[in-house]
Structure 1
Amino acid sequence: MPKNDLTPEEAAKLLPTGVALGWGFAKPPQRGPKREMSIDQIVKKAIEIADKDGLDAVSMNRVASELGFTAMSLYRYIPSKDDLLLLMQDAACDIPLPPERPSHEWRESLREYVMGTIGIFRDHPWYGDIPIFGIPIAPNNLRIVDWALRPLRDMPLNDYEKMSIVLLLSGYARSSGMLQRDIDRAIQAGSSAEAFSGLHYSAALQALVKPEQYPNLHPIVMSGAYTEENDSENNVGNDIDFGLERILDGIEQYLDRKRTGKTDK
């Protein structure tokens, strides 16, 4: 393991300001009148605004106004809106983690990780609107990564393999979380769950989708599976579960091959 002689304070200087503030090492500028706010208070208010009105509604002016201060007052704590977004993103990841399970329950543990991550996107719909700037480096983000690694700790995997599995599951959680978030938004705006299943269009599609033009899709449409016509088992939630179980199956097969020494070179 490479040795690193940096002090926490020296390390903080290498991070974006918003991330360094999240770690608690960087101090915001001290100029101006007596400080009467806190970074946590500002971030909490910004999240309240974003949860209610979306990420575009978050501005330094609005956050300051709702706290009873001027925008310039906020800049003495958080130097820029980009820094505020980083702090909001990290704060949204401060969720309670389930107790650690026995090692043989690794599938359940990874399932909890994926569903917990999806929950962040649903609880804070704006979360997925913040662009990905790089690997997670803020404290709560890293706590989530550490959570994902927990059931992999004693597996016969090297560090690269462990992180690749976390990346695979994180990507699935992100895409599923944003899909579910968009459905939540649409339903809140007046749409219905049936609109997403396509149930209302089942008869029309069965008349329009001909086997000559859509030879592979036609039998799926006619069976009712395409528009979830048959029953309630084919909803988005269960689609997510099905895909996740297949990913876990793949991980399990890979572990079996590792244990028997039959992995590809």
Structure 2
Amino acid sequence: MTSEEPIEQLPRGIALAWGVAATPQRGPKREMSVEKIVDAAIEIADYEGLGAVSMSAVAKRLGYTPMSLYRYVSAKDDLLLLMQEEATGLPPESEEENTAWRVRLKELYEAQTTIYRRKPWLLAMPIMGSPITPNSSAWLDAGLEALSTTSLTQDERIAASLLVTGAARWHGSILAGYQQQGRASGLNADEVSERESQLYDAVITDDGYPFLRRAIDAGVFTSEFDPFVFGLDRGLDGLTEYIERVGRERERVHVDDSGSAQAEGWSGEEEEPDDAATDTPQGIGDEDPDVVADKKYREAQKAVKQAQKVLAEARKRERQVLREAKERVAKRR
């Protein structure tokens, strides 16, 4: 689909998520809605897992026939997409104004990990490309907003955001696995770790696996040390060092959001030129077209930065309004 094609060309599931899909002209009682179908499907997933979700199971839960549901949600893949959208929700607002990018990314990481812990069935969702839905887009936008004041290009900001998302998903996968094992065995988290350590201790020998044996003897499987936070922190350490390095490099050659060099020698900030640098031949001064053009270019850059800041605030307000609207709708149900 090209950007010139009408919004009606959106796939049905995505159109439903954005609230631009056509409402069915005929159907069962007025009590039926896409929202109620999605809520029923999520309830099934919460109690029985994603594998138990089917159009017939959802219809039975609501007291309708499967064909009645297809008037609202035309395919199971669309239903899964809407379930993911609803369960993911919107990203949390930053706890403080002007939060440092690293602090903000860790907030998003912790929030995503919490969602996976509460809704482990999300991890069983088939990945079929980027979920182009409002809430999923808001999470990505929040990561990009956190990095908007850094020297990274747009490509690099996306990559850094995916680093955090991937770390949260991996941590969530492990937590979900331990939760499932705990439910099956009746053990709590500490008891599961202790049992795991005992199993390793029974089969790992110093002759066959000397380095793993040393780790076991050091108590790594029952330690309170968090390897996932450690891994994320080291990744962010590397990102911090990279941002500082490329920031210095791009002060010499400015790189715009598309990754193209724009003006050699541009530092990204207004600087007072020293006297020696401003000495110009008699009669030229500020009238020199090159000087005027350079000044206008820097003024334009300042205007762009200010506009980006205003846009970021507007988007933040937009997310807040959407969150409040969803809360009002939920209270009315």
TM-score range, shorter chain: 0.7 to 0.9
Which residue identity is paired with 2:248? Answer: T
| CA deviations over 1:176-213 (Å, ceiling 9, x no partner) | 111111112221222442333533346535xx512x43
In the alignment, the residues of structure 2 paired with residue 80 and residue 49 of structure 1 have an alpha-carbon distance, to the nearest angstrom, of 17
Contact 2:55 2:76 in 1 (8 A): yes
* Structure 2 partner of 1:30: 25
Contact 1:64 1:71 in 2 (8 A): yes
Contact 1:55 1:126 in 2 (8 A): yes
Query: How far apart are 1:258 and its partner, in Å?
Result: 1.3
The 5 Å alignment of 1:107-146 reads: 107-146=102-141
What is the root-mean-square deviation in Å for CA atoms of aligned residues?
A: 2.5
* Structure 2 partner of 1:152: 147
Query: How far apart are 1:111 and its partner, in Å?
Result: 0.6
* Structure 2 partner of 1:200: 198
Which residue identity is paired with 2:202? Answer: A
The 5 Å alignment of 1:1-265 reads: 4-5=3-4, 10-13=6-9, 15-33=10-28, 35-95=30-90, 97-99=92-94, 101-103=96-98, 105-189=100-184, 190-193=186-189, 194-196=191-193, 198-201=196-199, 203-204=201-202, 208-210=204-206, 212-225=207-220, 227-228=221-222, 232-234=223-225, 238-261=226-249
Query: How far apart are 1:4 and its partner, in Å?
Result: 4.7
| CA deviations over 1:58-102 (Å, ceiling 9, x no partner) | 111221222122211111111111111111011111145123644
Contact 1:28 1:78 in 2 (8 A): no
Contact 2:181 2:192 in 1 (8 A): no
| CA deviations over 1:15-72 (Å, ceiling 9, x no partner) | 3211111111111442345543111111111101111111111111221222122211
TM-score, structure 1 as length reference = 0.84
Contact 2:171 2:228 in 1 (8 A): yes
TM-score, structure 2 as length reference = 0.68
In the alignment, the residues of structure 1 paired with residue 171 and residue 8 of structure 2 have an alpha-carbon distance, to the nearest angstrom, of 33
In the alignment, the residues of structure 2 paired with residue 219 and residue 172 of structure 1 have an alpha-carbon distance, to the nearest angstrom, of 27
In the alignment, the residues of structure 1 paired with residue 152 and residue 91 of structure 2 have an alpha-carbon distance, to the nearest angstrom, of 27
**What runs of 5+ residues in structure 2 fail to find an aligned partner?**
251-333
| CA deviations over 1:238-257 (Å, ceiling 9, x no partner) | 22211111111111111111
In the alignment, the residues of structure 2 paired with residue 199 and residue 32 of structure 1 have an alpha-carbon distance, to the nearest angstrom, of 56
Which residue identity is paired with 1:164? Answer: A
Contact 1:28 1:79 in 2 (8 A): no
In the alignment, the residues of structure 1 paired with residue 62 and residue 75 of structure 2 have an alpha-carbon distance, to the nearest angstrom, of 17
**Distance of aligned partners of 1:33 and 1:202 in 2 relative to their CA distance in 1, 3 Å threshold:** closer
Query: How far apart are 1:169 and its partner, in Å?
Result: 1.3
Contact 2:45 2:52 in 1 (8 A): yes
Query: How far apart are 1:162 and its partner, in Å?
Result: 0.4
Q: Which runs of 4+ in 1 moved over 2 A?
A: 3-6, 28-36, 98-105, 191-205, 212-225
| Greater length-normalized contact order (CA 8 Å, ≥ 6 residues apart) | 1
Aligned residue for 2:128, secondary structure, equals coil
Q: What is the identity percentage for the equivalent residue pairs of Structure 1 and Structure 2?
A: 41
Contact 2:91 2:108 in 1 (8 A): no
Which residue identity is paired with 1:199? Answer: S
